[in-house]
Structure 1
Amino acid sequence: MADAALHLFQGLGIELEYMIAAKDTLAVLPVSDKLLYSVAGEYVCAIERGEIGWSNELVLHVIELKTNGPVPELDALPALFQENVRTINRRLVSLGARLLPTGMHPLMDPFTQTRLWPHDNNPIYEKYNEIFDCRGHGWANVQSVHFNLSFAGDDEFARLHAALRLILPLLPALSASSPLIDGKESGFLDTRLAFYAKNQKKLPSISGNVIPEKGIRSKREYEEKILKKMYADIAPYDKEKILQEEWLNSRGAIARFERNAIEIRIIDTQECPLADISLCALVLESVKNMAGRRWVSFEKQLNWDEAPLAALFKDVVKNGRHSVISDKKYLSAFGYEKNASCTVGQLWEHILDAVMPRDNPRSRVWRGPLELILREGSLAERILMALAGDFSPEKIVYIYRRLSECLAEGKMFEPGEK
């Protein structure tokens, strides 16, 4: 997203991360370098395959698929990503592997199974490991969707940043897909984000409250309030300045000024690209309406205190769509006037109808997956429903094998199906 001429929402970028797992046991397999080698003929960090690229991640059992540069709309992306999923799965057959979705592996032991990427960019990963110890679940066992939204100049940046702050706390209610850890129910629907918030507690300025700070109107203010403090705090541990870049920032949405975009980082990977892109489409339309001041002024968005937003975010990470909102001011910021309080799920139903009306033909492709999520629950809820209290390794592998089949076939996961 490097072209500064791309104005607000004119350029969109999506990255999807998947695990590579053994075909039969679903144990993580550290072979992403071999997968990339099978295409490039050498060990590389990334390859481009037309409109979609493949690239490495911190650990060897994760592969990332991403748009090659910004795209103007999302409509074609489910099919493009799905085609690449099928291609990768075909290439993984010879390695005895398959792609596996969701935000975390339910059975992985990161302390014994973590293998860092050993090729180009390895100094970055080794430095992270040296400072934070990347063998934990929050580092080695995470898969997410990154969604980039373009902006041009300070005015558009400020509008986008302010709008995202209000919407971020609601996202895990729809996107949570990581309810298990070490073969047990974690107590959080979004376990990945429970770790995300404390991954870098050694240096709290890196993630802040996850919900970004208020009152930021420009690139200069962002650098002063967020980036410079973060770089100063990590400098004693990073004398070579390996990590002092924008991507060190671990807030829920981070400024990527070098590509003129803000990147959303708190969406768990779903069961198939259609589900991922449908969630991104809803986020996009919601942010467009918020940034367009449909329900609340820019000044109010800009100066909304992060403490209640962060508290709501933590509640939603744990309880998902069942979290209750009793803040009438917050509800009115989305045009919700029906009751003095509602669940996050009810608020999302209101937002969906407001930004993706049923009679809008462009909404139809997205509404199907989104209505299933609102009706049956996030993927995390559906996984727990399918397990029905049986957390034996055999049952977990059975359910996650079904999830890998959903990914391979490009279909939504429904607990009752066999």
Structure 2
Amino acid sequence: MAEPMDKPKKPLHLFEGFGVELEYMIVQHDTLQVLPITDKLIYDEVGEYLSDVEFGDIAWSNELVLHVVELKTQGPVKSLVNLQEKFQKHVQKINSMLSKYNAMLLPTGAHPLMNPFTETKLWPHEHNAVYEAYNRIFDCRGHGWANLQSTHLNLPFYDDAEFEKLHAAIRVLLPIMPALSASTPILDGAITGLTDTRLEVYRKNQQKIPSITGKVVPEAVFSYAAYEQQVLQPMYREVAPYDPDGTLQEEFLNSRGAIARFERNTIEVRLLDIQESPLADLAILQAIVMVLQALIAERWVPLQELKSWHEDRLSAILLEVIAKGQEAILADKDYIRLFGYDCSEDCTVGELWKHLVQDVISLDEQPEVANALNIIVSRGNLSKRILTALGTAPTEEKIREVYQQLAVCLQKGGVFLQNEPC
């Protein structure tokens, strides 16, 4: 719902710019209880209850709920290299400011102990009409609204020809992105059995109007006209009876895992859980960008083959990855072939990512980022590493202990591993 990339004076070509958004919870330092004080944080900085505070390359903004603050690039940046360092400085600045409230930022895509039905408070200030409309239609007290923090990646396209290539590549990569980014194995103080619980609740939180989220993987449409007709207009028609003022008749209503923003010529990837630090997030984002570049360059298969994949087939893979992460079995040999991987037996999504890291991902000049990605691919996504640290039947006390360690990782800018300092 926030606006991370203003439309440039002229559209950018593929990979000429990047927009990144990172969402964090504000919690009480000792108990980890969510604290609805994002407005106080912003007021302390600028003396007003604004939706956006700009600091050159990075901005802060509010989100739907008062316990979440978003850090984002202020307009497109030219490169993702070293971007984590800019985000990290703002994480530390905010933590310093929150100390007077005995509060801190907490990472991961969902709070493990929050009760959203009793603890949710919506943003009451500037631009809250949109939030009130969502709340009226869907009731935003629930994990799918009040307890999900994500990382968004905005990628530009110049015209329909570039949109076609970018949308085709993003659609086929979407199902396996959460294998790297899943960070939500716990809800309501219990292990859910899913690697990416945030995505599971996200895909169901607007079932009242199914066209808004669709199958999460967007439909096979590759031009502005087709997107308008097949994706946007059905959604606008279905929401209209619930939205008499037309507050939600905008592109941001679209809640697929990647949404086209023609008003600023970008596609926004939205299905990534946030990680334990900007370093880990930027490792994942750079890996995704390098694979997308290879797909668009037709490194393994022609563009026409990417375009032919129906969202139902891709969504089936996504659901397996939501459940099992890197351990998900890829039984669809045609899908594996899209990435040039020769797999005679059934292989896992984790094995496919290891192949991609070796084949197209080059981070040699960024040793910290390369190390973070190596940990994610070799030791498991953050969900798996959290579960390893928690054990099979964790108490609330143990959950707090592990998530306190994750908060330390966020403050230090490190990568989480059991029994190892960040």
Which bin holds the TM-score, normalised by the shorter protein? over 0.9
Selected match of 1:39 from 37, 45, 54: 45
* Per-residue deviation, residues 219-266 of structure 1 (Å, max 9, x unmatched): 111011100110000000001010111111011100011121100001
Instruction: Decide which moves more: 405-414 or 332-341.
Output: 332-341
How far the C-alpha of 1:306 sits from its partner, in A, is 1.6
Q: Which amino acid in structure 2 is aligned with residue 409 of structure 1?
A: K
Q: How does 1:58-207 map onto structure 2 within 5 Å?
A: 58-207=64-213
Output the TM-score relative to the length of structure 1. Answer: 0.98
In structure 2, do the counterparts of structure 1 residues 362 and 158 end up closer, same or farther at CA, with 3 Å as the change threshold?
Answer: farther
Displacement of 1:268 after TM fit? 0.3
Structure 1 residue ranges (4+ consecutive) displaced by more than 4 angstroms after TM superposition:
none
TM-fit CA distance, 1:417: 2.3
Could you say which residue in structure 1 is the equivalent of 2:402? 399
Equivalent-residue separation in structure 2 for 1:340 and 1:149 (angstroms): 35
- Tell me, in whole angstroms, the C-alpha distance in 2 between the residues paired with 1:153 and 1:208: 25
Contact 2:364/2:370 (CA < 8 Å) preserved in 1?
Answer: no
User: Partners of 1:291 and 1:283 in 2: how far apart?
Assistant: 12
What amino acid maps onto 2:72 in structure 1? K
Aligned residue for 1:286, secondary structure, equals: helix
**1:274 and 2:251 are equivalent in the alignment:** no
Distance, in Å, in 2 between the alignment partners of 1:377 and 1:244 is 40
The one of 314, 317, 322 equivalent to 1:312 is: 317
Residue 301 of structure 1 corresponds to 306
| Matched residue, 2:360 | 355
Q: Which amino acid aligns with 1:201?
A: Q
Shift of 1:96: 1.3
Quote how far apart the aligned CAs of 1:302 are.
Answer: 1.0
For 1:78-132, what per-residue CA distance to the aligned partner results, in whole angstroms no more than 9, with x for missing partners? 1000000000000001111000000000000000000000001111111100000
Partner deviation per Cα, 1:4-28 (whole Å, 9 max, x = no partner): 3310110100000000000111100
Matched with 2:379 is 376
Q: Secondary structure of 1:361's match?
A: coil
What is the SS of the residue equivalent to 2:32? coil
Cα distance in 1 between the residues matched to 2:76 and 2:368: 21
Any gaps of 5 or more consecutive residues in structure 1? none
Query: 1:356 touches 1:363 (CA, 8 Å); kept in 2?
Result: no
Alpha-carbon distance between aligned partners in 2 of 1:12 and 1:100, rounded to the nearest angstrom = 25
Q: Which moved more, 1:299-308 or 1:117-126?
A: 299-308
Number of equivalences? 415
Q: Aligned to 1:412, which of 410, 415, 419?
A: 415
Query: Scaled by the length of structure 2, what TM-score is found?
Result: 0.97
Q: For residue 44 of structure 1, what is the amino acid of its counterpart? A: L
1-structure distance, mates of 2:364, 2:244: 54
Matched AA of 1:236: P
Counterpart secondary structure, 1:29? coil
Q: Distance in 2 between matches of 1:163 and 1:14?
A: 19
1:285 & 1:401 partners in 2: Cα distance?
Answer: 33
Between the aligned partners of 2:241 and 2:418, the Cα distance in structure 1 is: 49
C-alpha contact (below 8 Å) 2:65/2:123 kept by paired residues: yes
Amino acid at match of 1:412: V
Deviation at 1:365, TM superposition (A): 4.1
Residues 369 and 412 of structure 1 are in contact (CA less than 8 Å); yes or no, is this contact kept in structure 2? yes
* Distance (Å, rounded) in 2 between the aligned partners of 1:16 and 1:249: 19
Deviations 1:131-162 (A, max 9, x none): 00100101000100000001100000010000
Give secondary structure in 2 for the equivalent of 1:321.
helix
SS at 2:25 equivalent: strand
| Residue correspondence of structure 1 range 230-309 to structure 2 within 5 A | 230-309=235-314
User: Secondary structure in 2 aligned to 1:15?
Assistant: strand
Q: Deviations over 1:26-55 (max 9, x none)?
A: 100000000000011011111001210000
- AA at the equivalent of 1:184: A
For residues 10 and 417 of structure 1, the distance between their equivalents in structure 2, rounded to whole angstroms, comes to 38
Equivalent residues of 1:296, 1:333 under 8 A apart: yes
- Unpaired stretches in structure 2, ≥5 consecutive residues: none
Q: CA deviation at 1:410?
A: 0.4
> Do the aligned residues in 1 keep the contact of 2:261 with 2:268 (CA within 8 Å)?
yes
Q: Matched residues, percent identical?
A: 50
How far, CA to CA, are the matches of 1:200 and 1:93 in structure 2?
36
Q: Distance in 2 between matches of 1:291 and 1:110?
A: 41
* Equivalent AA in structure 2 for residue 399 of structure 1: V
